[in-house]
A and B are shown apart, each in its own frame.
Chain A
Amino acid sequence: MPKIRLDKLVKRYGSLEVIHGIDLTTEDNEFTVLVGPSGCGKSTTLRMIAGLETVSGGEIYIDERPVSKLEPKDRDIAMVFQDYALYPHMNVAKNMSFALRLEKRPRKEIQHKVGEVAEMLGLEKLLDRKPAELSGGQRQRVAMGRALTRDASTFLFDEPLSNLDAKLRGQMRAELALMSQQVQKSMVYVTHDQVEAMTLGQRIVVMQDGHIRQQGTAEELFKRPNSRFVAGFIGSPPMNFLDGQITRRGDVAFIEGEGFKLSLPVELAQRALKHPRDTVALGVRPSDLVPAEAGSSDALLLKVLVSEYIGAQSILLTECGPHKVSVEMNSSAPVALGQPLHCSVQKDGMHLFDSETGLSI
């Protein structure tokens, strides 16, 4: 049974439309991540699901029940906010039990529930503290604890890790992944960080300018991006793009641009030749570029500008004609700055995008 279903959801502020009729269906107990650059409408969408923003058009279904007219409290949801949104005047235990206390649940039950969640999140020793007496990571945990204590069927997360420093963020991300396996709830998670999206999401929804551009698993989005935007947004370091033309010599199709000429694999060539336009962009991930023989004809000739050592791998920033190209390479390979480097593209590593629509070919 689909858990959350957005049906042509629209949000307008006055005459300005920010969400343009999006459709989305998530499965029961699925971890869905809405990801996109700032201003893409991901937070607005989440806040509409939560009931904190009104819906201007379309409908939201939770368990096939239309909820867009319901108050947040009647939607059976819990939410974790970016700034944690803890109640500053209540201690940790009171923060976590607020919803249960409003429901006038028996004191025993509340204590039990709070104790259980506190143990799971390692908050037992902090129950008497006020939020101001906690560190950022602890506040984050309390915010999650508050959501967990409620026992709602759906969890919403609005960029919950973005106020933490890099190290803590990685740690909390892992804890969150673990927690989502343990509690088995439907979760909708908003982030602008594609690494968070890739590592946490079972279903990743890429948004841009109030539209859903693509959704799927991390692997689907990484291997088969449907547009130049998704290709450039997912993956780190980002995909390289080289503008060129499709040309044909005999049975072989080539992509040819300033400073490079590569033959296309058969399947891609067929699609490219059927495509009405022949000005395209070639997309290649830095990890799909591999060193080739010096004399190799079917390779990019790159000039190495900078080498960024990041451990086992190094990122080379190189130049290919007017294009900047980054290459991910084993750090043990000898590379000299300013020297030419021949790189061929791995099988399935080529992506072509229409130069006008940006859609995948």
Chain B
Amino acid sequence: MNGRRLTPYLFMAPAAFILGVALLYPIAYMIYASFLDWNPSQRIGQAEFVGLRNYTWLLGDASFRESLGVTLKFAFFVVSLEMLIGVGLALLLDRSIRGMTALRTIFILPMMIAPIVVGLIWRYMYHPTVGIFNKTLNAIGVESVPWLSDSFWALTSIIIADVWQWTPFIFILSLAALQSLPRSALEAARIDGATGWQQIWHIKLPLMMPVLIVTCLLRLIDAFKVLEVVLVMTNGGPGLSTEILSLRISRTASEFRELGVAAAMSNYLLLMLMLLTVLMFVYSRVSEARAARIRQAAEES
């Protein structure tokens, strides 16, 4: 009897072990490292324990604060734009037109390209003299734009590239949400006199909302962690104008050789992401609870 009760745990043990080694150990290591003043030339045992000094120092560090600001700005703009364009496209393409299947496939292509490649493609397109944007602008008599060499334009450029790559993600999720909406409710709305806009505003968007909220949070989590595209396109420059947090972390560790500070920075990022994850979790719990309450009410009536 006792052996039988242990069997499930036995089956779970390998997975739990791998999870522990691959996930929890590095995190624990990172948390421990964030309390150290640690140079890569030292072994971890030789590093000096400094308590929360790395964290407090970071709060006062202008570069870190700027990097955090850039990250927040970047995340805010890309997610808003992607939501707007992705949902908009889904609303436009939720119909049966000839060739729609091919069109949809083309729309989701950018998402499938490796981020490094995306970064390279856009870097070439943004090239000040031979890039397609400036060449086109010059051809129609407009002056070149300093795409990657001006701090305003550099941030704009990486936002554009990220929007290009990740809008399809929101597009396919919202399209799936749209197509699972009850058709008859939309027909009822047409008979009730709702125009196309009113159907979107009063019926489609409210009914898509649960999917949109989760999609938005997922994208937000991803946007905070973006690295490759920015690394390839601007490497954080010019100045610190596009130095998002993950880039700052990697530079702190490799260039400034401050492993403890880098670890503390990672933990700040982790905290932010945890906050978002908890939000998502709370949201799904709340909506589940509401659904359960509604079901119960329906059964009682």
- In chain B, positions 260-301 with a C-beta closer than 8 Å to chain A are 291, 294-295, 297-298, 301
Q: Let me know if A81 and B187 touch, CB within 8 A.
A: yes
Q: Let me know if A87 and B191 touch, CB within 8 A.
A: no
- B184-195 interface bits toward A, Cβ cutoff 8 Å, 1 = contact, 0 = none: 110111111110
How many Å lie between the Cα of A81 and that of B189 in the bound state?
12
Q: Which of A50, A78, A98, A129 has the most CB of B within 10 A?
A: A98
How many Å lie between the Cα of A85 and that of B203 in the bound state?
12
Contact pick for B294, options A71, A78, A133, A150, CB 8 Å: A133
Asked whether B141 is an interface residue with its Cβ less than 8 Å from the other chain, the reply is no
Q: Let me know if A130 and B294 touch, CB within 8 A.
A: yes
Q: Let me know if A102 and B198 touch, CB within 8 A.
A: yes
Asked whether B207 is an interface residue with its Cβ less than 8 Å from the other chain, the reply is yes
Q: Let me know if B194 and A102 touch, CB within 8 A.
A: yes
* Nearest A residue to B207, CB-CB: A89
Q: Let me know if B193 and A102 touch, CB within 8 A.
A: yes
Q: Let me know if A98 and B187 touch, CB within 8 A.
A: no
The answer to whether residues A88 and B193 also contact, given A98-B202, A133-B297 and a CB cut-off of 8 A, is no
Chain A interface size band reads: 20 to 34
- In chain A, positions 40-80 with a C-beta closer than 8 Å to chain B are 50-52, 71-73, 77-79
* Nearest A residue to B295, CB-CB: A132
Across-interface contacts of B190 in A (CB, < 8 A): 51-52, 71-73
Q: Let me know if A83 and B301 touch, CB within 8 A.
A: no
- In chain B, positions 170-197 with a C-beta closer than 8 Å to chain A are 182, 184-185, 187-194
Q: Let me know if A103 and B185 touch, CB within 8 A.
A: no
The answer to whether residues A50 and B298 also contact, given A85-B182, A85-B185 and a CB cut-off of 8 A, is no
The answer to whether residues A72 and B182 also contact, given A89-B207, A130-B294 and a CB cut-off of 8 A, is no
* Nearest B residue to A135, CB-CB: B301
Q: Let me know if A134 and B301 touch, CB within 8 A.
A: yes
Shortest beta-carbon distance from B233 to chain A in Å: 42
Asked whether B3 is an interface residue with its Cβ less than 8 Å from the other chain, the reply is no
Asked whether B8 is an interface residue with its Cβ less than 8 Å from the other chain, the reply is no
How many Å lie between the Cα of A86 and that of B203 in the bound state?
11
Q: Let me know if A52 and B187 touch, CB within 8 A.
A: yes
Across-interface contacts of A83 in B (CB, < 8 A): 182, 184
How many Å lie between the Cα of A87 and that of B203 in the bound state?
7
- In chain A, positions 126-177 with a C-beta closer than 8 Å to chain B are 129-130, 132-135, 138, 146, 150
Q: Let me know if A73 and B194 touch, CB within 8 A.
A: yes
Across-interface contacts of B193 in A (CB, < 8 A): 73, 99, 102-103
How many Å lie between the Cα of A50 and that of B194 in the bound state?
14
How many Å lie between the Cα of A52 and that of B183 in the bound state?
11
Shortest beta-carbon distance from A159 to chain B in Å: 12
Q: Let me know if A78 and B191 touch, CB within 8 A.
A: yes
Across-interface contacts of B298 in A (CB, < 8 A): 132-135
Q: Let me know if A88 and B187 touch, CB within 8 A.
A: no
Asked whether B206 is an interface residue with its Cβ less than 8 Å from the other chain, the reply is yes
Shortest beta-carbon distance from A226 to chain B in Å: 34
* Nearest B residue to A139, CB-CB: B298
How many Å lie between the Cα of A135 and that of B299 in the bound state?
7
Q: Let me know if B192 and A73 touch, CB within 8 A.
A: yes
Q: Let me know if B192 and A102 touch, CB within 8 A.
A: yes
Across-interface contacts of A132 in B (CB, < 8 A): 291, 294-295, 298
How many Å lie between the Cα of A150 and that of B198 in the bound state?
17
Contact pick for B301, options A52, A78, A81, A133, CB 8 Å: A133
* Nearest B residue to A87, CB-CB: B185
Shortest beta-carbon distance from A243 to chain B in Å: 44
Across-interface contacts of A78 in B (CB, < 8 A): 191
* Nearest A residue to B187, CB-CB: A52
Shortest beta-carbon distance from B33 to chain A in Å: 48
Shortest beta-carbon distance from B178 to chain A in Å: 15
Across-interface contacts of A81 in B (CB, < 8 A): 184, 187-188
Across-interface contacts of B192 in A (CB, < 8 A): 73, 98-99, 102, 146, 150
New contact pairs (8) apart from A52-B187, A52-B190, A146-B188, CB-CB < 8 Å:
A50-B187, A73-B193, A79-B191, A81-B184, A85-B187, A88-B182, A98-B189, A98-B192
User: What are some 10 contacts across the A-B interface (CB < 8 A)?
Assistant: A50-B187, A52-B187, A73-B190, A79-B187, A81-B188, A84-B184, A102-B198, A132-B298, A133-B294, A138-B301
Name B's A-contacting residues (CB within 8 A): 182, 184-185, 187-194, 198, 202-203, 206-207, 209, 291, 294-295, 297-298, 301
Q: Lowest 5 CB-CB distances: which A-B pairs, in order?
A: A85-B184, A73-B193, A99-B192, A85-B188, A133-B297
